[in-house]
Amino acid sequence: MGQFTGLHGIDRDRLLALIAASRALRTEAEARPRTDRLHGKAIGLLFFEPSTRTRFSFEMACHRLGADPLAFNAASSSSVKGESLTDTARVLKAVGADALVVRHKEVGAADLVAEVVGLPVVNAGDGTGEHPTQALLDLVTMSDHVGGFEGLTVGIVGDIRHSRVARSNAYGLRALGARVLLAGPPSLQDATLLQAGCEQRQTLAEVAPEADVLMMLRIQRERIAGAAVPSVADYRARWGLTERAAAQLQDHVIVMHPGPMNRGVEIDDEVADGPRSVIYGQMVNGVYARMAVLLDVLGVEAPEAVAG
Ligand code: CP
């Protein structure tokens, strides 16, 4: 029984295999959009926090693999009557779930469910902790556009401190030999990622000339308690990927964003929808990355990677 709750300490070969499996599933889907690899399996989708991309891509991943998604709506569930996360997870197991996907505001929620319930568990975002399937789809997207990860420089700019996306990407990229430059307002930086081998910069202007990939992040206002946040004008001037800032980038640089975007703050419309943007591709890859992870945790083989 496998778990996929974080990329901290992930084995490089497992990560490369998941990237290859995601790409192989995407190639296979061109001819065969649906298979029955997970026929008869039920996947509990326990989303206790809002989501658009992650939730729908897990649902689509289930359908494409022939599994039954057990969708959970926190607002209309017994959690509003005080039922705990772990008791809710036990209910899903009792009614027949074979694996659980968990999004929750508490760091460590997915690990807790895995420990208590004894099913394969996938972390779909735990507070400011990790978002490993987002990082996997980001790595798949990067691999579509860059030669390899060794020697690649990825700039991650924005609210690093509250970003589970930044954390999972940093761990994954470092495991694959990439260089990671972080920049954001002083109150939103995260020194713990420097221990993982990331490098701290202050502003977008310090990151941009060195980066092959620029990943822009929103300020996670829902998680900020008391941290000083710059005004929108100040933020745009120092950390915003404006049309003018994007015009200074090297030709080969790609722009990523996990979403949801705050257009006009960390990224301008012209950049988000422009030729450097691979943001839509990230969303497409989300389905295949999540298919690869569901197969992995349930111990079912993915299709063979095609060379090239
Ligand atoms: N990137 C991401 O996790 O988006 P959602 O919150 O819409 O799932």
Per-residue pLDDT tens over the stretch 15-33: 999 999 999 999 999 999 9
54 ligand 1 Cβ < 6 A: yes
User: Which atom of ligand 1 has the smallest separation from the CA of 258?
Assistant: 1
Residue 308 has pLDDT above 70, yes or no: no
Q: Of the residues 45, 49, 54, 168, which should be mutated to test ligand 1's pocket, given the most ligand atoms within 8 Å of the CB?
A: 54
How would residue 225 be classed by pLDDT, with cut points 50, 70 and 90? confident
134 ligand 1 Cβ < 6 A: yes
Nearest CA residue ID for atom 4, ligand 1: 53
Query: What distance in angstroms lies between residue 260's CA and the mean position of ligand 1's atoms?
Result: 6
How would residue 167 be classed by pLDDT, with cut points 50, 70 and 90? very high
91-118 tens-digit pLDDT: 999 999 999 999 999 999 999 999 999 9
8 ligand 1 Cβ < 6 A: no
Predicted pLDDT at 103: 98
Percent of the chain with pLDDT over 90: 94
- Per-residue HEC secondary structure of the chain comes to CCCECCCCCCCHHHHHHHHHHHHHHHHHHHHCCCCCCCCCCEEEEEECCCCCHHHHHHHHHHHHHCCEEEECCHHHCHHHHCCCHHHHHHHHHHCCCCEEEEEECCCCHHHHHHHHHCCCEEEEEECCCCCHHHHHHHHHHHHHHCCCCCCCEEEEECCCCCCHHHHHHHHHHHHCCCEEEEECCHHHCCHHHHCCCCEECCCHHHHCCCCCEEEECCCCHHHCCCCCCCCHHHHHHHHCECHHHHCCCCCCCEEECCCCCCECCCECHHHHCCCCECHHHHHHHHHHHHHHHHHHHCCCCCCCCCCC
Residue 306 has pLDDT above 70, yes or no: no
- Indicate whether this model's pTM tops 0.85: yes
220 ligand 1 Cβ < 6 A: no
Query: What distance in angstroms lies between residue 302's CA and the mean position of ligand 1's atoms?
Result: 25
Query: What distance in angstroms lies between residue 210's CA and the mean position of ligand 1's atoms?
Result: 28
Q: Of the residues 53, 216, 256, 290, which should be mutated to test ligand 1's pocket, given the most ligand atoms within 8 Å of the CB?
A: 53
